[in-house]
Amino acid sequence: MAATVWVEDLGRIDYKKAWDYQEKLFKGTVDLKIAQRKEETTKKTNNYLLFCEHPHVYTLGKSGKKEHLLMSDEQLAAIEATYYKINRGGDITYHGPGQLVVYPILDLETYFFTDIHKYMRYLEEAVIRTLHDYNIESGRVDGFTGVWIDGETPQARKICAMGVKSSRWVTMHGIGFNINSDLTYFNFIVPCGIEDKSVTSLEKELGHPVDLDEVKEKFQHHFATLFNVKYKEKKYVV
């Protein structure tokens, strides 16, 4: 039976505000699972798929190095960007306008499978299939997460970064998929801690801007197929 996933489009939203909202949904799900185990409730958990864009922001994961941010606080302010040390896996990455950010908050144990590596590969596969819809062949690179174009060549370039957190098989954080991103902002970091590979966007690969909502719909379709879900729309309330 297909699992139900609530879809919310948060629009362009401050990173910290979206992070706080994720934490609220994540904590609610984890707390409910703990109550279930104690037989204090029979209420079921929910699954969520959050879409958004962020103003210019750099985020550093738990395994990242601060020196991979190549800017001072003053320089960050000059380019109107913010910086956060956060609780996902991975190193440093950039989010900004024109990038499709997806945060799945899923109860893997109840509805899907208990395998984080499989979960990560499914997220990558949803992006790979979305790119295939635009006649762009992409894939994975051994030893790295995310989605790459020409991944096993000297021209390897990353188009989608990933970083997740999980507790009690509940997920949060997710992917940053470069659609119409201003790639110059990646010049101020060592993206994902990888020094010898570049980044790209769907716009750069195709040679023209792409409608973000169109990409979102294609991604949703492939996500639903891979994870066997049905969607319900939920309006985000500020």
Can you give the residue ranges of every domain in the chain? 3-233
Please tell me which residue in 5, 52, 101, 192 is annotated as part of the active site.
192
Q: What is the pTM of this model?
A: 0.94
What's the pLDDT score for residue 192?
61
Rg (C-alpha) for the chain, rounded Å, is 18
The span from the CA of 82 to the CA of 58, in Å, is 6
Let me know: does 47 contact 229? Beta carbons within 8 Å. Answer: yes
Per-residue pLDDT of the chain (238 residues; tens, 9 = 90+): 899 999 999 999 999 999 999 999 999 999 999 999 999 999 999 999 999 999 999 998 887 888 888 888 898 889 889 998 888 888 888 999 999 999 999 999 999 999 999 999 999 999 999 999 999 999 999 888 899 999 888 889 999 999 999 999 999 999 999 999 999 999 888 766 555 678 999 999 999 999 999 999 999 999 999 999 999 998 776 5
Q: What letter would DSSP give residue 188?
A: G
Q: Where are the beta strands (DSSP E) in the chain?
A: 3-12, 48-53, 57-60, 82-85, 92-95, 99-105, 147-149, 157-167, 170-178, 198-199, 229-233
Query: Does the active-site annotation cover 52?
Result: no
The span from the CA of 231 to the CA of 198, in Å, is 35
What's the pLDDT score for residue 22?
96
What's the pLDDT score for residue 99?
98
Instruction: Please tell me the CATH superfamily of domain 3-233, with its number.
Output: Bira Bifunctional Protein; Domain 2 (3.30.930.10)
What's the pLDDT score for residue 210?
98
| Token pair 């409910």: residue | 32
Q: Angle 116-133/212-227 helices, nearest 10 degrees?
A: 130
